A and B are shown apart, each in its own frame.
Chain A
Amino acid sequence: MHTDEPTPDQIHCKKVYKQMGLNDDEYSLVVELLGRRPNLTETGIFGVMWSEHCSYKNSKLLLSRFPVDGPKVLQGPGEGAGVVDIGDGYAVVFKVESHNHPSAIEPYQGAATGVGGILRDIFSMGARPVAVLNSLRFGPLSDSEADKKIISRTRYLFGNVVAGIAGYGNCIGVPTVGGEVCFDECYTGNPLVNVMGVGILRHDQLQHGRAEGIGNSVIYVGLATGRDGIHGATFASEELNEESDAKRTAVQVGDPFMGKLLIEACLEVYESGAIYSVQDMGAAGLTCSSTEMADKGGVGMELNLNLVPQRAENMSAYEIMLSESQERMLFVTNPGREEEVFAIFKKWNVPAVAVGHVIEEQVLRLKHHGEKVAELPLNTVCGASPVYQRESKMPQEVVERQQQTAITWSVPENLQIVFQQLIQTPELASKSWVYQQYDCMVRTSTSVRPGSDAGVVRVEGTDKALAMSIDGNSRYVFLDPKTGGKIAVAEAARNVVCSGARPLAITDGLNFGNPEKPEIFWQLEQAVSGMAETCNFLKLPVTGGNVSLYNETEGEAIYPTPVVGVVGLIENNDHTTTQFFQNSGDVLLLLGDTKNELGGSSYQQMQLGKITGMPPKLDLDKEQTLQQTLLEIIHSGIVISAHDLSQGGLAVALLTSCTENYGILVNWEIDLRPDIALFSESQSRILLSISPDNTELVEVVMQKKGVPCARIGKVVSSGTSGSNCGGSTGCFDISLNGTPVIQAELNPLRELWKNAIGREMEISV
């Protein structure tokens, strides 16, 4: 033991455990379970293993409401990532993970290691990573009233998070095929970075993380351990404050080159059959991987910390166990197969060294410099963390906010100007400034790139493809967490359905404030119950996910932000559908009902500078019928384009379906105020383009299923190669009940929308 380390008694008396994330009661429980006072290393191990990030102590009871099983689920929550069968002997592996706190302090590395971490989760299951997606939240990029320093900081965070994702993902060679970015004041001090990884494996390649076989070697693989990221998991489970910047050492540094070598070497090692089990070293590093592997296998593990590769001198046992250095994995080999494993890693120049072995006694035993420095029964570290049923209380201000449903402004005189303003807000503007920094095509399996409702990646060796999307509208959740939670799941599913896929399962990223506050816990509880209800109804199992709590700055919480990652199966590549118009003369059909629903909408936010009232309603029966019917007609091959209506309503959905070459002529008969008609965010709506010959057929099917279906206009061509509206600049014309409300040239309008974020980033503050 290092001589300058506090003794067990000092840890007790000076409450050193508090720095490691344990409160008084939790520390007392540790002492009771061990029957003695833990030393520093042991206290640190409990600190990380009992953090929210590793133990889910605040959210466990709520998460149990999610359905986790289904006929196609091969692996639910509990391993690195969920695994779902996709037929032909293949399965898809996917999961979302957050890197919010590190990204708030050091955006480039915070985001980069987020990508690295989730990819290790994917290939630790045996899968080849085939795609990543991301869901990002930042403060506003400009605001005339805000402090200039804050705006510069926000742009720095946004620019560097994107660069970090690009820097890691592009180098490791996994395409970024989709994602979303939103901007709101509530994220100014606490940005959100959620990354979703997706992989494909053959069933016989599936790996697990159970250590078994007494005497089997435990092999440490990857980069040497340094002092970076010590207590990252604990840091992630605290609120951010002025001192957070001083915690910069808690941020890890990524090495995508080593990440790439690790992927290739690990996949080769799996094929050799020489290893028994594997787990990545993510949150809580060597501590979490060793204890979880041993615990899952019902065995123990003994490690000699002197054998752990180290890149800093004189590291203590505490530091070695708590480091979150990146690009590391832990393996348990099959008996006598160590040399084969070493040879493969050597070929790839990846360090690999035996650091211990599996033991019968169910303890984690650590040796350092010949001394025993920790011995912890696994059932205390892994199974015994406290589980909290937090107090839940609906805040009075929520009730008051929900009652403010009246629309307090009159219809704007010039809706075209309002529309132009709306499509230039960063939240609705094209995200091409972001996704053009990501390689979306490497591995040459991407058939739908970023910019449509879902990214689509082909499954090689089959006629199938996977559609994937990540989505979440926190404004709805803020106004009414339960409805917001329902919409989050329904919309994610709708996105992949619009791409021609049957949704298979979801992964959830729950980003909330401090659950010890009853109002925050109420948000979490309500949102989870709305999500669970929708998952059960739509038969969408939750196969894994991530909980990120304590997203607060100086006591102010972010909007409750559940994001939902979904993967859907396209049975035949021919079914792949995008949101983009493709033929002049195709008929525009609007499926679903449009109602007076502006609560939480982008339009309301722009008009009022805040949101009030209730979010749009979601009728699960209607949603299910809509999704099933749409999928049927897509499968029949008559749908040219399909686009989910979301933020910004019909007007924005029309614009984002247009291309350089195809605009629209719309006249919609609708009994609503014109601004509500254009910008309402009513749920369960989809915009289709269908060839004139097939339009009636679609209408008949929709009528039979009871899905409202309105002919609202047609696609018109533009461009130099022949135009039937607006000449080479094209046209974007919307009339309501015969009265023109938007009569714009298409391509200038698209330019405004396409370059808005780039312009915003360049305006000086």
Chain B
Amino acid sequence: MRCAVIVFPGSNCDYDLYKAANYIEGIQAEYVWYTSKSLDGFDAILVPGGFSYGDALRAGALAARAPILKALQRAADSGTRVLGICNGFQILTECGLLPGALHRNSGLRFICRTVNLEVSNTATPFTSGYVGRTSTHVRLEIAHGEGNYTCDSDTLHKLEDNGQIVFRYSGDNPNGSVANIAGITNEAGNVLGMMPHPERAMADWMGSSDGRILFESMRD
């Protein structure tokens, strides 16, 4: 599987995502610069975390208007798997590939810590591997200042009815997101945006290896 890791100016989890994807047997990840006009030939597209454009205006707002976005939209529309993590999630909501928005954390402070997540839908191309795990609980790290997912009630109902809510915070909700949402897909299910960082949970020495399953699911 050929994966693109998009690099925007100010992306800083691009390297981590590149390492994580290449760590999985059967995935070859490559960097793609934000000015590129094509994403043809890639089986999956990874939009990394960080502070694209220094979060100028709003987190993700400028990256959502970067030259590569047209190609990203085309790829998503044609069914290519797209994974946006942290700032990547913010970019996907800003460009309209995912509904809703990510507000400032309810505590108004940046939070970096490990959280417990419930995998609410294992029938997606990103989470199929979590089937059969005890109570489908996973531990991943979050590191964000604007992870408070918000949407109107109609959208929330749609998300719930379509099984688009993939990850929810279990136990305490670190950022005040609606319905404890940590990650959602688009209606078609091929675009996932999530605040927690699976690329930071690839081996026990990192504190958790629960993120591997997500990349393996994507490959399979």
Contact = CB atoms under 8 A, between A and B. Distances in A.
Interface of A: 163, 166-167, 170-173, 255-258, 260-261, 348-349, 435-444, 446-447, 449, 458, 573, 576
B10 A171 contact: yes
Nearest to A465: B205
B10 A437 contact: no
B110 A170 contact: yes
A25 B199 CA distance: 60
13 contacts: A166-B109, A170-B112, A170-B143, A171-B12, A171-B55, A256-B51, A256-B54, A257-B51, A260-B9, A260-B12, A348-B9, A441-B197, A444-B199
B9 A166 contact: no
- Mostly helix, strand, loop or mixed at chain B's interface? mixed
Interface stretch (B14-22, B152-160, B165-173): B14-22
B148 to A, nearest CB: 16
A436 B56 CA distance: 23
A167 B50 CA distance: 12
A163 B206 contact: no
A441 B112 contact: yes
A443 B16 contact: yes
A257 B143 contact: no
A257 B112 contact: no
A348 B54 CA distance: 14
Contact of A172 (B12, B13, B110): B12
A439 B51 contact: no
Contact of B110 (A437, A449, A458): A437
Contacts of A443: 15-16
Contacts of B16: 442-444
B54 A447 contact: no
A444 B9 contact: no
Nearest to A166: B110
A14 to B, nearest CB: 44
A441 B143 contact: yes
B51 A437 contact: no
- Name the residue in A173, A258, A576 with the highest tally of chain B Cβ atoms < 10 Å from its Cβ: A173
B81 interface: no
B194 to A, nearest CB: 16
B112 A438 contact: yes
Nearest to A163: B109
Contacts of A257: 9-10, 51, 53-56
Nearest to A576: B205
B206 A447 contact: yes
Q: What 10 A-B pairs are tightest by C-beta distance, nearest first?
A: A257-B54, A173-B12, A171-B51, A444-B16, A439-B143, A437-B110, A439-B112, A441-B200, A447-B205, A166-B110
A691 B16 CA distance: 36
B133 interface: no
Contacts of B113: 436
Contacts of A573: 205
B202 interface: yes
Interface string B187-219: 000000000010110100111000000000000
B197 to A, nearest CB: 7
Contact of B10 (A166, A260, A576): A260
Interface of B: 9-10, 12-13, 15-16, 19-20, 50-51, 53-56, 109-113, 141, 143, 145, 197, 199-200, 202, 205-207
Nearest to B51: A171
Nearest to B205: A447
A436 B143 CA distance: 9
A447 B206 CA distance: 6
A260 B14 CA distance: 13
Given A441-B143, A441-B200, A444-B19, 4 more contacts: A163-B110, A170-B145, A256-B51, A443-B16
B200 to A, nearest CB: 5
A258 B20 CA distance: 26
Nearest to B50: A173
A256 B52 CA distance: 11
A438 B206 CA distance: 17
Contacts of A438: 110, 112
A166 B53 CA distance: 17
A444 B200 contact: yes
B113 to A, nearest CB: 5
Contacts of B143: 170, 439, 441-442
A446 B141 CA distance: 13
- Name the residue in A166, A348, A573 with the highest tally of chain B Cβ atoms < 10 Å from its Cβ: A166
- Name the residue in A166, A171, A439 with the highest tally of chain B Cβ atoms < 10 Å from its Cβ: A439
Contacts of A447: 205-206
A449 B200 CA distance: 13
Contacts of A258: 54
A444 B109 contact: no
Contacts of B109: 163, 166, 437
B162 to A, nearest CB: 32
A444 B51 contact: no
A167 B55 CA distance: 11
A443 to B, nearest CB: 6
Contacts of B199: 444
Nearest to B141: A441
Nearest to A172: B12
Given A261-B10, A442-B143, A444-B20, A255 B202 contact: no
B171 to A, nearest CB: 13
A50 B54 CA distance: 36
A687 to B, nearest CB: 23
A437 B9 contact: no
A166 B112 CA distance: 10
Given A261-B9, A442-B143, A573-B205, A436 B112 contact: yes
Contacts of A440: 112
Contacts of A171: 10, 12, 51, 54-55
A436 B197 contact: no
B107 to A, nearest CB: 10
Nearest to B56: A257
Contact of B206 (A260, A437, A444, A576): A444
B190 to A, nearest CB: 26
A576 B207 CA distance: 13
A573 B55 CA distance: 36
A444 B202 contact: yes
Nearest to A171: B51
Contacts of A348: 9
B124 to A, nearest CB: 24
Given A171-B51, A444-B199, A436 B111 contact: yes
Contacts of A437: 109-112
Nearest to A170: B110
A444 B212 CA distance: 14
B145 to A, nearest CB: 8
Contacts of B55: 171, 257
A360 B48 CA distance: 49
Contacts of B54: 171, 255-258, 260
A261 B112 CA distance: 23
A173 B10 CA distance: 9
Contacts of A256: 51, 54
Contacts of A173: 12-13, 50-51
A198 to B, nearest CB: 17
A645 to B, nearest CB: 26
A183 to B, nearest CB: 19
A442 B110 CA distance: 14
A439 B16 CA distance: 14
B46 to A, nearest CB: 14
Contacts of B207: 449
B49 to A, nearest CB: 8
A576 B206 CA distance: 12
B169 to A, nearest CB: 15
Nearest to B207: A449
A446 B112 CA distance: 13
A86 B175 CA distance: 41
Nearest to A174: B12
Nearest to A350: B9
Contacts of A349: 9
Nearest to A574: B205
